[in-house]
A and B are shown apart, each in its own frame.
Chain A
Amino acid sequence: MTDAAQQHGQGSIAMGQAVSKSVAGEAIIVALPGAKAAVVALPPLAAKPLSARAASWLRAIAVNLLPPLLTVGLLLLFWQLAASGPQSSLPPPSKIWSEARDLIVEPFFWNGSQDIGLGWRILVSLQRVAIGFSLAALIGVLLGALVGQSVWAMRGLDPVFQVLRTVPPLAWLPLSLAAFRDSQPSAIFVIFITAIWPVIINTAVGIRNIPQDYRNVAQVLRLNQLEFFFKIMVPSAAPYIFTGLRIGVGLSWLAIVAAEMLTGGVGIGFFIWDAWNSSRLSDIIVALVYIGVVGFILDRLVAFIGHVVTRGTQAN
């Protein structure tokens, strides 16, 4: 390290001398200021890579972060102005900050079973989504494979799917409560039934689009059904499957909030309903932000997994 630095230093001194010599030599003919500028320009040239890289990083961050921050800032400002009047029915940001500060800054506090941080409530909701969505993903891919692979299965099942998928998630809840007689499995069932349709439909399209070449390869190799499913079908249809999963996880997150409002217990949906019943509007707004951020993260998470898993599948 020190050796290299010394050499570097000597080098720059030598170069500096060389330049200053030429400056001395040419000073008689050419105007001095221009030659001097060349001498001064040397040290920054040597130091540029590090600072330049940092600068380009900073610029990239600024370019990506500043516009959304600016938008949010302007929205908050507009909101503050619009909701500040005495007649206003909704709280301005400043009031939310003073009323719901503990919810914002401390997501994971625990003051007894009913007074807990929003982070805990989100986790409970996420757990329900995880169970319901995993079931939907598993069964959706299997059913989608069946419908995509077999013409008869498609003729028989597709009309049923097309009708059922238009039923709004909450319309399933009463039936689900009647069947399971408990709120927890009912909420999970609502997630499941909401998320499964896009998974089925996208998987089926993906399977139908498997190139005949891959099927021929499988036939020549005499792959059995199970091998064909895992080695050809799933990887080949993976981009489609992940599109379905991404839509599915978004719908799950939409459905869980609504379902929890009705089923009660712990969870972000019920928290909103509870806050509404006790007129804590600030809490509701904080919860909405939580839901939005978590939904965004869920979407990006599935997209990221899809990106990693399907690497290479699309490029041919």
Chain B
Amino acid sequence: MSYLKIDHVDKRFARGAATTEVLKDISLVIDKGEFVSIIGHSGCGKSTLLNIVAGLTPVSAGAVLLEGKEVNAPGPERAVVFQNHSLLPWLTVYDNVALAVNKVFGGVKSKAERHDWIMHNLDLVQMGHARDKRPSEISGGMKQRVGIARGLAMEPKILLLDEPFGALDALTRAHLQDSIMQIHAALGNTMIMITHDVDEAVLLSDRIVMLTNGPSARIGEVLDVRLERPRKRLDLVSDRTYIAAREAVLKFLYERHRFVEAA
């Protein structure tokens, strides 16, 4: 039995009489521990697909199954790291993570265990030192770290990352990508990441799912990235497999499925 199965999913949005078909016949199977990136031009429906897996958006047809059970509502076993971090500004870093931990493990773990678990996750993203700061007092990269800690702290079956580093500068992004790789190596989480950054997709993923342009976007190609882990950014620059994978994605995006509107 597959871990996560996206089974012939369609998504249409109806506005008055007009309906727009955003996603058409999306099928994808993801194994436990796999890191899958979904890449495509903006507006193609990447985020819609992630929201469907998260349960935030209902499907129009088809189904999403996690360990054989249909997903039709959001839940902490499919934690989301949002694009704009979505930390609650009136809570401290600690309390933002605590909100999730207390809700998910309130009945299972004791107060001391929950505290340790919160600090463990903050330390995992190197944010333990800023536990008493509010989101407005820390940088964008730090906010996203806390967002990741909050997602991890729910101990999700699958972690959904919605363009997690899109709003960050290149250096901060590289740092966070390394952190994500370390966490993935250490914990073996199953992760789906939305991105429009080719290098990021190749560096992090086991598989890259490429979506065609919308409307009615479908899966154009799926690329296996057969690179040994742990991966090192600098070593990969001249690695043949890396270059080939990068080229394959770039060709897909800019030759076969050029985004005309963006030109």
Q: Give the B-binding residues of A (Cβ under 8 A).
A: 211, 213-214, 216-217, 219-223, 227, 231-232, 235-236, 238, 310, 312-316
Q: Which residue of B lies closest to A316 (CB)?
A: B89
Instruction: Indicate whether B3 reaches chain A with its CB closer than 8 angstroms.
Output: no
Within 8 Å by CB of B79, from A220, A231, A310, A315, lies: A220
Q: A213-B84, A217-B88 are known contacts. Are A223 and B103 too (CB-CB below 8 A)? A: yes
Q: What is the CA–CA distance of A238 and B90 in the complex, to the nearest angstrom? A: 10
Q: What is the CA–CA distance of A216 and B104 in the complex, to the nearest angstrom? A: 16
Q: Which residue of B lies closest to A311 (CB)?
A: B90
A220 and B54 contact, CB distance less than 8 A: yes
Within 8 Å by CB of A231, from B73, B75, B89, B99, lies: B99
Q: What is the CA–CA distance of A254 and B82 in the complex, to the nearest angstrom? A: 47
Instruction: Indicate whether B86 reaches chain A with its CB closer than 8 angstroms.
Output: yes
Within 8 Å by CB of A219, from B74, B99, B134, B135, lies: B74
Within 8 Å by CB of A213, from B79, B82, B154, lies: B82
* Neighbouring B residues of A222 by C-beta, 8 Å: 74-76, 103
Q: A219-B56, A220-B54, A220-B75 are known contacts. Are A312 and B86 too (CB-CB below 8 A)? A: no
* Neighbouring A residues of B55 by C-beta, 8 Å: 219
Q: Which 7 A-B pairs have the closest CB atoms?
A: A213-B86, A315-B136, A219-B74, A235-B90, A316-B89, A313-B90, A220-B74
Q: What is the CA–CA distance of A199 and B134 in the complex, to the nearest angstrom? A: 28
* Neighbouring A residues of B74 by C-beta, 8 Å: 216, 219-220, 222
* Neighbouring B residues of A232 by C-beta, 8 Å: 88
Q: Which of B133-167 contact A (CB under 8 A)?
A: 134-136, 154
Task: List 11 additional A-B contacts (Cβ < 8 Å) besides A219-B55, A219-B56, A312-B89.
Answer: A213-B82, A213-B86, A214-B86, A216-B82, A219-B74, A220-B76, A222-B103, A232-B88, A315-B136, A316-B135, A316-B136
Q: What is the CA–CA distance of A312 and B51 in the complex, to the nearest angstrom? A: 29
A169 to chain B, nearest CB (A): 34
Q: Which of B48-69 contact A (CB under 8 A)?
A: 54-56
Q: What is the CA–CA distance of A213 and B84 in the complex, to the nearest angstrom? A: 8
Q: A232-B88, A235-B88, A235-B90 are known contacts. Are A221 and B82 too (CB-CB below 8 A)? A: no
Q: Which residue of A lies closest to B75 (CB)?
A: A222
Q: What is the CA–CA distance of A214 and B80 in the complex, to the nearest angstrom? A: 12
Q: What is the CA–CA distance of A114 and B154 in the complex, to the nearest angstrom? A: 66
Q: Which residue of A lies closest to B104 (CB)?
A: A221
Within 8 Å by CB of A220, from B78, B84, B90, lies: B78
* Neighbouring B residues of A231 by C-beta, 8 Å: 88, 99
B80 to chain A, nearest CB (A): 5
* Neighbouring B residues of A213 by C-beta, 8 Å: 82, 84, 86
Q: Which residue of B lies closest to A235 (CB)?
A: B90
Q: Which residue of B lies closest to A310 (CB)?
A: B90
Instruction: Indicate whether B250 reaches chain A with its CB closer than 8 angstroms.
Output: no
Most buried by B among A217, A223, A238, A315: A217
Within 8 Å by CB of A313, from B76, B89, B103, B154, lies: B89
Q: What is the CA–CA distance of A235 and B88 in the complex, to the nearest angstrom? A: 9
B192 to chain A, nearest CB (A): 14
Q: Which residue of B lies closest to A309 (CB)?
A: B90
Q: What is the CA–CA distance of A223 and B80 in the complex, to the nearest angstrom? A: 15
B56 and A216 contact, CB distance less than 8 A: yes
B136 and A216 contact, CB distance less than 8 A: no
B76 and A221 contact, CB distance less than 8 A: yes
* Neighbouring B residues of A310 by C-beta, 8 Å: 90
B86 and A217 contact, CB distance less than 8 A: yes
13 A-B pairs with CB atoms under 8 Å apart are: A214-B88, A217-B82, A219-B74, A220-B74, A220-B78, A220-B79, A221-B99, A231-B99, A238-B90, A313-B89, A315-B134, A315-B136, A316-B135
B89 to chain A, nearest CB (A): 5
Q: Which of B78-115 contact A (CB under 8 A)?
A: 78-80, 82, 84, 86, 88-90, 99-100, 103-104
* Neighbouring A residues of B89 by C-beta, 8 Å: 312-316
Q: Which residue of A lies closest to B79 (CB)?
A: A220
* Neighbouring B residues of A211 by C-beta, 8 Å: 86
A98 to chain B, nearest CB (A): 55
Q: What is the CA–CA distance of A231 and B91 in the complex, to the nearest angstrom? A: 10
* Neighbouring B residues of A223 by C-beta, 8 Å: 103
* Neighbouring B residues of A216 by C-beta, 8 Å: 56, 74, 80, 82, 86
